[in-house]
Amino acid sequence: MSMRPSVALAVEHRPGVDREFLGDVVRGLTNLPKTLDPRWLYDDLGSSLFEAICRLPWYRITRAEMALLARHAPAIAEGLGPAPAIIELGPGSGEKLACIVAAVVERRGRPDVHLVDVSGQALQMARQTLGTFPGVEPVLHEQSYERGLERAVAATQAGRRVVAFLGSNLGNFDPPDAVVLLQSIARVLSAGDQLLLGLDLVKPDRDLLLAYADPLGVTAAFNLNLLQRINRELGGSFDLRRFEHEARWNHDASRVEMHLASRARQDVRIVSADLVVAFERGETIWTESSYKFEAGDVPLMGERAGFAVRQQWVDRDAGFALTLLDRLE
Ligand code: AVI
């Protein structure tokens, strides 16, 4: 979502309020269309709801990726040098990385593990999972991907690193931002380092909509929780019953969009921002984009950022691609 106004809005600072969150919410809700940055979906409850989404039968990303990792982790480990460093951006529960760590421990010895996420809760979960390998002590970076990656890279050896960016997390960035992020990963890496990228592929509309508007309502709760977070942290007055989760497949842009649609004409107050936001009936807040790819898009994206594909494994049935890329000289 790149429709931010360039003017910075002055927001009075109140103690105990996350200024970045407040600034983002004010900018997003005074935009047209209204938007909220998806990174704020992941407070403690949001992270737990996302973990639940990953177990839903209609959301196949996690299981498809786990199966590919379980099958191909030995090949990935073989391709790494001795004593490698594994850096994961957005590790979730850490279960996926555990597949790679297990294969590396068996073939290459104990790896250095670095985990980067803005959510402290996610990092703790992943630390618990990965801490079960003897001698493996994950280093946690509770930061943005770029900042955390820089730190992790500074603490590890050139030519021995593999950065895992799994779960189609890259799909939550608009294409130009995705390339910029890949470029910033390439910039801090050295020749001989690798990137392991997991991306969800385009599939029938019906499957995509079931994955993002599941019949159990878990994704709806995940989305609506963002309004609850604004109420709790910023003194918002959102009545969650007056908003509705919507998932839309935007074929032309190749993305699933999550929205929160206002069920009525209403005003919502946000005390910390001294702001009243007016909603028309049916007006939405656009909270997330999940871009879907063709397997053949990955080499092109990689090349634009300074990577070349070493190997790609595709689950055609679930529509998911795992790609291992080399950082070019
Ligand atoms: C984290 N990310 C890749 C998920 C996705 O599929 O875009 C977040 C999510 N949103 C709704 N369901 C899952």
pLDDT of residue 1: 54
Q: Which pLDDT belongs to residue 130?
A: 95
Q: How far is the CA of 2 from the centre of ligand 1 (A)?
A: 18
Amino acid letter for position 96: K
143/136 Cα distance (integer angstroms): 21
Q: Which protein residue's CA is at the shortest distance from atom 4 of ligand 1?
A: 169
DSSP conformation class of 88: E
Beta carbon of 53 within 6 Å of any ligand 1 atom = yes
pLDDT, tens digit, 9 for 90 and up, residues 238-293? 999 999 999 999 999 999 999 999 999 999 999 999 999 999 999 999 999 999 99
CA of 290 to the centre of ligand 1 (A): 7
What local confidence, expressed as pLDDT, does residue 16 receive? Answer: 83
Beta-carbon-side half-sphere exposure of residue 12 (alpha carbons within 13 Å): 7
Q: Specify the pLDDT at position 7.
A: 35
* Alpha-carbon span 299 to 82, nearest angstrom: 27
Instruction: Give per-residue pLDDT as tens, 273-284.
Output: 999 999 999 999
pLDDT band at 180 (very low <50, low <70, confident <90, very high): very high
Rounded mean pLDDT, 6-17: 55
DSSP sequence for 223-280: HHHHHHHHHHHH-B---GGGEEEEEEEETTTTEEEEEEEESS-EEEEEGGGTEEEEE-
| C-alpha angle 27-212-233 in degrees, rounded to nearest 5 | 35
The rounded Å distance from CA 13 to ligand 1 centre is: 31
If you measure from the C-alpha of residue 30 to the centroid of ligand 1, how many angstroms do you get, rounded to a whole number? 25
What is 13-79 written as a DSSP string?
Answer: --TTS-HHHHHHHHHHHTSSSEE--GGGG-SHHHHHHHHHHHHSTT--HHHHHHHHHHHHHHHHHHT
Residues 6+ apart with CB under 8 A from 173: 181, 291
Q: Can you tell me whether residue 295 is helix, strand or coil?
A: coil
Q: Boundaries of CATH 3.40.50.150 in the chain? A: 61-201+293-327
- pLDDT surpassing 80 at residue 4: no
Residue 8 has pLDDT above 70, yes or no: no
Among the listed residues 228, 246, 247, the one whose alpha carbon sits nearest the alpha carbon of residue 238: 228
> Distance, CA 54 to ligand 1 centroid (Å)?
9
Q: Under CATH, what is the fold of the domain 61-201+293-327?
A: Rossmann fold (3.40.50)
Q: Is any atom of ligand 1 closer than 6 Å to the C-beta of 219?
A: yes
Name which residue sits closest to atom 1 of ligand 1, judged by CA: 169
Instruction: Look over the chain and give the mean of its residue pLDDT values, rounded to a whole number.
Output: 94
DSSP 3-state of 299 = helix
Tens digit of each residue's pLDDT (9 = 90 or more) over 201-210: 999 999 999 9
Q: Is 294 helix (H, G, I), strand (E, B) or coil?
A: coil
| pTM of the complete model | 0.93
Asked whether residue 3 carries a pLDDT value surpassing 60, the answer given is: no
Give the model confidence (pLDDT) of 24-35 as tens digits.
Answer: 999 999 999 999
Of the chain, the end-to-end C-alpha distance in Å amounts to 32
Three-state SS sequence of 117-176: ECCHHHHHHHHHHHCCCCCCCCEEEECCHHHHHHHHHHCCCCCCEEEEECCCHHHHCCHH
Is the CB–ligand 1 distance for residue 171 below 6 Å?
yes
The pLDDT value given to residue 13: 54
The pLDDT value recorded for residue 119 is 83
The answer to whether residue 9 scores a pLDDT higher than 50 is: no
CA atoms within 13 A of residue 31's CA, in its CB half-sphere: 23
Q: What is the mean pLDDT of residues 31-46?
A: 94
What average pLDDT does range 145-173 have in this prediction? Answer: 95
Cα angle 211-212-215, degrees, rounded to a multiple of 5: 75
The residue whose two tokens read 């599941």 is 214
d(CA 260, CA 288): 10
Question: According to the model, what pLDDT value does residue 245 have?
Answer: 98
By mean pLDDT, which of 44-48, 84-88, 168-172, 315-319 is the weakest?
44-48
pLDDT-derived band at 59, boundaries 50, 70, 90: very high
CA distance 68 to 241: 40
Q: Which of 6-20, 67-81, 105-119 has the lowest mean pLDDT?
A: 6-20
pLDDT of residue 93: 87
- What span, in angstroms and rounded, lies between the C-alpha atoms of 314 and 329? 27
Fill in the amino acid letter for 10. A
The reply to whether ligand 1 has any atom less than 6 angstroms from the CB of 172 is yes
CB of 287 shorter than 6 A to ligand 1: no
| Cα–Cα distance, 136 to 113 (Å, whole number) | 7
What pLDDT is stored for residue 5 in this prediction? Answer: 37
> Residue 288 CA: which ligand 1 atom is closest?
10
